[in-house]
Amino acid sequence: MPKEREWLTFYDWARTYGNYFYLSILGQPILVLNTHDVVSDLLEKRSGIYSSRPRLVMAGDLVGFDQAIALMPYSERFRQLRRLIQRELNAKALEKYWPLHEQESRELAKNLISHPTEMQSYIRHYAGSVILKVTYGYQTQPKDDPFLLLAEKVMQAFSMASQPGAWLVDLVPWLRYLPSWSPGAGFQSTAKKWSDLHMQVINGPYDWAMRNQGLPALAKPNFVSTVINQTDADLTEEEQSLLLWSSASLFGGGADTTVAALSSFFLAMALYPGVQQRGYTEIQKVVGKDRLPSVSDRKHLPYVECIMYEVLRWNPVTPLGVPHMLVEADVYEGYHIPAKTIIMPNIWAMLHEPSIFPEPHSFLPERFVGNEAAVKEVSVAFGFGRRACPGVAFAESSMFVAIATALSTVIIANARDMQGKDITREVPYKTGTISHPPAFTCSLTPRDGAELLSIRT
């Protein structure tokens, strides 16, 4: 089992073994899917038996990430949480959050202009601030917000804990019962530390929201308040549990993924200045110089929208998705697939398929212009079937307005690593369930009209 950037190894293996291949690690069967056609046949058309999650002892049993919907097995509890989230995240309901997206995107641009060397920190602040305000009504502190600092540590832990094959205890579950002092049981102290951090993130903002209902500190609208106000009586214990974990699922699903996507955007703009200029020119033509872009401008800014799609495709946030699990034995094209097989969809391979995306390693937003097939294909970045991300519309609104505002206000150039060396277009992304570019800096120069930020924030 490859230990780093597995999606690239699987992509190479597919050339030898085919579009899907089977491997076994210490008796655990794994099926890797490298094309959308195969994924559609199994994870979508047969979603009734392919929608559960594998038991990840480290991430689930020991840390507790399986209590939120990302790693939760497919069950009635999962469906209840998903329904609660979808009710608030459908495209029409999200319009009330557009002003929040716009305000925070302008704060991001202002911060980048004032403190360009802290770009990564402010991207993380933007993503966390949006999702905390939408979910809990919590307004983050401008610097070193305690919930954001906790969330950053927890999302790093999630990415490492949920990586298939990374932990021997996931393949040999009885190892969890080893005494913590015994050789090879160091994972237990790591799990305990991550579990404590996880519960602080789960309970902290939720408890804050419950204490501040009806008080001026609470920003509205927000998910928690909306659910409470839709209930005539006090929430039952079960309803409180559903609200706690659905809000935690929203927070966890929207923070680090947005950070990874926007980091890729800034890196791509520095590496492909022609794309950046074309996006800026479109905004100037459509929006003009007297205001900044809004979410509602998206339908009039097709090239900027294509930049967003290409960010999702170029280096997908979750290159191997989150693994599915087959709950009963199946047969596909004559091959027997045992029950409890872990299914790993290679999203990176699907989004680098040359027949759909020519020159797949280049950042070319124009590939989406008038190409509905390519636009449809890029949706694989958000998962499949009954496990597809319920927050697609929210994520795209947040990404689009941040991208459009940045293009309008700053010139992005000179991507360098932390040793000061120029970054090339063959940049190696980090290993993990959520994959980030390596740490880098850019020069950020204000454009004419950036002074509008002081008016619109």
pLDDT tens column, 80-97: 999 888 887 776 778 888
Do the domain assignments include residue 427?
Answer: yes
Q: What is the CATH number of the domain that holds 185?
A: 1.10.630.10
Tell me if 105 is assigned to some domain: yes
Q: Identify whether 21 is part of a domain.
A: yes
Whether 188 is in a domain gets the answer: yes
Domain that holds residue 140: 6-456
pTM (2 decimals)? 0.91
3-state secondary structure of 325: strand
DSSP H helices in 255-301: 256-271, 273-286
Query: Which of the pair, 155 or 119, is modelled with greater confidence?
Result: 119
> Which two tokens mark 205?
């903002």
Please report whether residue 129 resides in a domain. yes
Q: Report yes or no on 1 lying in a domain.
A: no
Q: What is the mean pLDDT of residues 157-175?
A: 81
What average pLDDT score do residues 440-452 get? 85
Question: Based on the structure, what is the number of domains in the chain?
Answer: 1
Does any domain span residue 292? yes
How far separated are the first and last CA of the chain, in Å rounded? 49
- The total of other beta-carbon atoms located within 10 Å of residue 316's CB is 27
How far apart (Å, rounded) are the C-alpha atoms in residues 416 and 422?
4
What's the mean pLDDT when you consider all of the chain? Answer: 90
pLDDT tens by residue, 350-384:
999 999 999 999 999 999 999 999 999 999 999 99
DSSP symbols for 193-256:
HHHHHHHHHHHHHHHHHHHTTTSTTS-SS-HHHHHHHT-SSPPPHHHHHHHHHHHHHHHHHHSH
Strand partners for 52: 325
Whole-angstrom Cα distance, residue 344 to residue 318? 11
In a domain, 318, yes or no: yes
**More confident of the two residues 71 and 253:** 71
Query: What DSSP element (H or E) covers 33?
Result: strand 28-33
pLDDT in tens, 202-259: 999 999 999 999 899 998 888 999 889 888 778 888 989 999 999 988 888 777 889 9
